[in-house]
A and B are shown apart, each in its own frame.
Chain A
Amino acid sequence: MILKAERLSAGYARIQVLKAIDLEVKKGEIVCLVGANGAGKSTLLKVLSGVIPPTAGAFTFDGRDVTGRKPNQLVRMGLSHVPEGRQIFGSLTVKQNLFLGAYVNPAKKERLDDLLESVFGLFPKLKERLAQKAGTMSGGEQQMLAIGRGLMSQPKLLLLDEPSLGLAPLVVEAILSTIGELRSRGISILLVEQNVNAALHISDRAYVLETGRIVLQGEAKDLLENEEVKRCYLGM
């Protein structure tokens, strides 16, 4: 088990968003988190990466209780969060963005170069753009950068929040197939994705979140057949 959340609750100021969430990601799994706008998907990822402290409940990462840890501790342990809206550093170059991904694990120069090469293996485009200011890249390239930057910390678990938002269908396909490739590199993935159909096809299991509660969970291929999922999230 790489991640296990038990009765996790959280929110902002006075609003409670998440209500007693139970969720697991096993080693080497891609788990998809499905839910309507405002259901609390991004909030859950923020709790898991230590950005927001939970108000109740607990979660373990790689077998250790990490409730209340800060993002810098969690990144160091191998939990990387590629946030909604990419949050890349537009005024910095692509290379600087990537190096910041490895900020918490200061590696030797050669090791950094190896890491860069492995990111280029997934996103060859980034290699040509190393010296470019990240803010001047296209949306698709920026998303590749955001994922690549998240990989520079050598995560065991990657939290991906809507990696295909606003991208053209072909790019979406490329990004999703890359996510499938990450699993074969031994990285477990918790994926939030609006393209539910495509996401379920690359996922092992999935959870459906409705107004802060898990209302449905199961094997991805079973959820693809589920009548309610079909109606609400697959538009069938």
Chain B
Amino acid sequence: MSDISHLVQFLFSGITVGSVYALIAVSLVIVYKVSQLICFAQGEFFVFGALTMTTLVSKGVPVPLAFFLSIIIAMALGALIQQVLIRPMKNTSVGALIVMTIAISLALRGLALLIWGRESHVLPPFSRGEPIQVLGAALQLQILWIVGITTVVLFLIWFFFEKTPAGIAMRACAENPYGASLMGINTQKTTLVAWAWGSGIGALAGMAVAPMLFTQYTSGIMPMVKGFIAMSIGGLGSIVGSVIAGLLLGLVESYTIGLISSKFSDTIVFALLMAVLVFRPNGLFSRS
């Protein structure tokens, strides 16, 4: 392989990983906006999405159906968690709530261990076919799926929040729940919908990369951490910021692994986070 083909190959893997981080970051942002809360269980939805779909496909369920079923299951799980575990705590401190989401994360991880065991599972790629050669680098078809899914999801999110009454109501709820309730917006229902969205998108991230990873019950931990970092770099509440930061993070990681050493990739990512937090505490893309 030539130098160029190496660089292109790193670009592909950077975009792949970056898309996953971006999706997880967006799922975190959506929940954060309505609940002012980082849901640490988001990594588990990544795992549940990937493993539910893997199981369904291995049982012979057609891929498109398995895809939608897995998303719906994750969305229902997220809504259930909000309704049963988070909602009753609405008058407690944010600290207590964060501890709660960590507890939920551990419980879901335990549940995944019970259902799927310790083994790793691989999902067959969404479509069969040889990788495409681009400038001497191999572009796996699944990468096109990942990028395509991410693009579609981001477009839908943009459309939802900018153009639909429900999405605008959700933003109103996030900014000013009291004002929103006076408009007759049901803030509890809106919060529930946001959690369902967040969980579904987290699951989608796991499903999209499941053919490229060995997914097991602990596989959600690092994506969650990286998604959280992307969210912080992007400015906590900003969807656009998180997406850019997620992609950036994926690319930085990929080029560090490729050009320096895999030993340094996490070090560099965390150094980047610290630098952003020190010099741009409101995020890399904030105006203030």
A99 within 8 A of B: yes
Taking CB atoms and an 8 Å cut-off, the chain B residues in 93-146 that contact chain A are none
- The answer to whether A75 and B184 touch across the interface, beta carbons within 8 angstroms, is yes
Taking CB atoms and an 8 Å cut-off, the chain A residues in 43-57 that contact chain B are 49, 51
- The answer to whether A87 and B182 touch across the interface, beta carbons within 8 angstroms, is yes
- The answer to whether A103 and B178 touch across the interface, beta carbons within 8 angstroms, is no
- The answer to whether B179 and A89 touch across the interface, beta carbons within 8 angstroms, is yes
A35 within 8 A of B: no
- The answer to whether B184 and A76 touch across the interface, beta carbons within 8 angstroms, is yes
Which of A90-98, A115-123, A200-208 contacts the other chain?
A90-98
- The answer to whether A153 and B175 touch across the interface, beta carbons within 8 angstroms, is no
- Minimum CB–CB distance for B178 against chain A, Å: 6
B176 within 8 A of A: yes
Chain B interface extent, by class: 10 to 19
- The answer to whether A103 and B165 touch across the interface, beta carbons within 8 angstroms, is yes
B185 within 8 A of A: yes
**Cα-based distance from A203 to B10 in the complex (angstroms):** 73
A38 within 8 A of B: no
- The answer to whether A89 and B171 touch across the interface, beta carbons within 8 angstroms, is yes
> Which of B169, B172, B182, B185 contacts A83 (CB under 8 A)?
B182
- Minimum CB–CB distance for A217 against chain B, Å: 27
- The answer to whether A100 and B183 touch across the interface, beta carbons within 8 angstroms, is yes
In the assembled complex, which residues on chain B have CB atoms less than 8 Å from the CB atom of A137?
none
A136 within 8 A of B: no
In the assembled complex, which residues on chain B have CB atoms less than 8 Å from the CB atom of A23?
none
- The answer to whether A51 and B172 touch across the interface, beta carbons within 8 angstroms, is no
Residue of B165, B172, B178, B180 contacting most chain A CB atoms (<10 Å): B172
**Cα-based distance from A70 to B179 in the complex (angstroms):** 14
**Cα-based distance from A23 to B4 in the complex (angstroms):** 80
- The answer to whether A72 and B186 touch across the interface, beta carbons within 8 angstroms, is yes
Count A-B pairs with CB separation below 8 Å: 63
- The answer to whether A103 and B169 touch across the interface, beta carbons within 8 angstroms, is yes
- The answer to whether B184 and A87 touch across the interface, beta carbons within 8 angstroms, is no
**Cα-based distance from A74 to B185 in the complex (angstroms):** 11
In the assembled complex, which residues on chain A have CB atoms less than 8 Å from the CB atom of B175?
89-92
Taking CB atoms and an 8 Å cut-off, the chain B residues in 180-200 that contact chain A are 180-186
In the assembled complex, which residues on chain A have CB atoms less than 8 Å from the CB atom of B172?
89, 92, 100
In the assembled complex, which residues on chain B have CB atoms less than 8 Å from the CB atom of A70?
186
- The answer to whether A87 and B179 touch across the interface, beta carbons within 8 angstroms, is yes
Evaluate whether A75 and B182 lie within 8 angstroms (CB atoms) in the complex, with A89-B175, A89-B176 already known.
yes
In the assembled complex, which residues on chain A have CB atoms less than 8 Å from the CB atom of B180?
89, 100
In the assembled complex, which residues on chain B have CB atoms less than 8 Å from the CB atom of A76?
184
- The answer to whether B178 and A99 touch across the interface, beta carbons within 8 angstroms, is no
- The answer to whether A101 and B183 touch across the interface, beta carbons within 8 angstroms, is yes
B168 within 8 A of A: yes
- The answer to whether A103 and B179 touch across the interface, beta carbons within 8 angstroms, is no
A41 within 8 A of B: no
- Minimum CB–CB distance for B244 against chain A, Å: 19
- The answer to whether A51 and B178 touch across the interface, beta carbons within 8 angstroms, is yes
**Cα-based distance from A90 to B174 in the complex (angstroms):** 11
A71 within 8 A of B: yes
Per-residue B-contact encoding for A66-82, CB less than 8 Å = 1, 0 else: 00001111111000010
B166 to chain A: closest residue by CB: A103
- Minimum CB–CB distance for A135 against chain B, Å: 9
In the assembled complex, which residues on chain A have CB atoms less than 8 Å from the CB atom of B165?
99-100, 103, 106
A167 within 8 A of B: no
- Minimum CB–CB distance for A199 against chain B, Å: 22
In the assembled complex, which residues on chain A have CB atoms less than 8 Å from the CB atom of B179?
83, 87-89
- The answer to whether A92 and B171 touch across the interface, beta carbons within 8 angstroms, is yes
In the assembled complex, which residues on chain A have CB atoms less than 8 Å from the CB atom of B181?
51, 71-72
A224 within 8 A of B: no
> Which of A49, A96, A106 contacts B182 (CB under 8 A)?
A49
> Which of B168, B171, B176, B182 contacts A71 (CB under 8 A)?
B182
**Cα-based distance from A2 to B198 in the complex (angstroms):** 43
- The answer to whether A72 and B185 touch across the interface, beta carbons within 8 angstroms, is yes
Residue of B172, B175, B182, B185 contacting most chain A CB atoms (<10 Å): B182
Inter-chain pairs besides A71-B181, A75-B184, A103-B169, 20 sampled, C-beta below 8 Å: A49-B182, A51-B182, A70-B186, A72-B181, A72-B185, A72-B186, A83-B178, A83-B179, A87-B176, A87-B182, A88-B176, A89-B171, A89-B172, A89-B176, A91-B175, A92-B171, A92-B175, A99-B165, A99-B168, A100-B169
Chain A interfacial positions (CB closer than 8 Å to B): 49, 51, 70-76, 81, 83, 87-92, 96, 99-101, 103-104, 106, 149, 153
A selection of 9 A-B contacts at a CB cut-off of 8 Å is A51-B178, A72-B185, A72-B186, A87-B178, A90-B175, A100-B172, A103-B165, A103-B184, A106-B165
